[in-house]
Amino acid sequence: MKEKEIAEHTTDFLNNMTHEFKTPLTNIGLAGKMLTRDANIRQEEKIKHYIGIILEENDKLKLQVEQVLNMSALEKGEIPLQETELDVHQLIHECIKNISLQIENKQGHLTLDLNAEHSVVTGDKTHLANALCNLVDNAIKYSKDKPEISIQTSNKDHHLIIAISDKGIGIEKEYHEKVFDKFFRVPTGNLHDVKGFGLGLAYIKKIIELHGGKIELESEKEKGTKFIITLTNA
């Protein structure tokens, strides 16, 4: 049964990966054809538009490949953490700066309640930032219409608590433990309703654990989701 389950997850992952790679590759191909088909393009805006598509889709492919490779390397312990003292509040603000455009485009709302008096931890800036940004990105993806996202911080017994919550589609209780498994994606009725490989939460959990922390999930179907990260203060 376990082998059958692993085989099914692997098949789902490969199907998702094929789909995820196919879209940007198709767009790159089409944009390239438009540039070569009309050798006498005189409109500078058109050329910029096609080149912009190629560069944007190429960046998407690179990020997707990196996500797969990073997870593989993490499993083998091949990614050493570059640990320094970090202010998590600063990381959160940097993450929001990069992702706020998505929230604005969906006419959503983000609430920040950064109440932790001690927000410094020892960790790898790149990986911790990726973990936080991935959780906010998930909150946007799994919101129905206008995302309502909240990020809160607090302290408890020399620990920093980070809570990222949304009012999206939520996750049924039967899937709570599985969501952190590699390749697992919560069934949504349509395999490609939400993009991704099912590696995001597995990566996040691995990163948090490598920092000596833990991540917990609170969620109810149709009532939203909350991820709670606990890290030790520096």
CATH superfamily membership of 83-232: Histidine kinase-like ATPase, C-terminal domain (3.30.565.10)
Fold of 2-76: Helix Hairpins (1.10.287)
Q: What are phi and psi of 29, to 5 degrees?
A: -60, -45
pTM, two decimals, is 0.70
Look up tokens 């009012």; give the residue. Answer: 167
> In this structure, are residues 11 and 183 in contact, taking their beta carbons and an 8 Å threshold?
no
Instruction: Tell me where in the chain the CATH 3.30.565.10 domain(s) lie.
Output: 83-232
Looking only at the bridges linking them, the beta strands covering 214-219 and 148-156 are: unpaired
The 10s digit of each residue's pLDDT in 95-144 is 888 677 778 878 899 999 999 999 999 999 988 988 898 898 888 888 87
Mean pLDDT of the chain: 80
Chain centroid to CA 177: 18
* 109-114: strand order across its sheet: 109-114, 148-156, 159-166, 225-232, 214-219
- 3-state SS string over the chain? CHHHHHHHHHHHHHHHHHHHHHHHHHHHHHHHHHHHHCCCCCCHHHHHHHHHHHHHHHHHHHHHHHHHHHHHHHHHCCCCCCEEEEEHHHHHHHHHHHHHHHHHHCCCEEEEEECCCCCEEEEEHHHHHHHHHHHHHHHHHCCCCCCEEEEEEEEECCEEEEEEEECCCCCCHHHCCHHHCCCCCCCCCCCCCCCCCCCHHHHHHHHHHHCCCEEEEEECCCCCEEEEEEEEEC
pLDDT for 231 equals 97
Q: Which residue has the tokens 């969501």?
A: 179
Contact of 134 with 229, CB cutoff 8 Å: no
Q: Please list the residue range(s) of the chain that carry CATH number 1.10.287.130.
A: 2-76
Cα 82 to chain centroid distance, Å, stands at: 21
- Residue 192: band (very low, low, confident or very high) from pLDDT cuts 50, 70, 90: very low
Question: Which residues make beta-bridge pairs with 215?
Answer: 229
Q: What is the pLDDT of residue 38?
A: 63
pLDDT of amino acid 208: 93
Average pLDDT, stretch 12-35?
Answer: 70
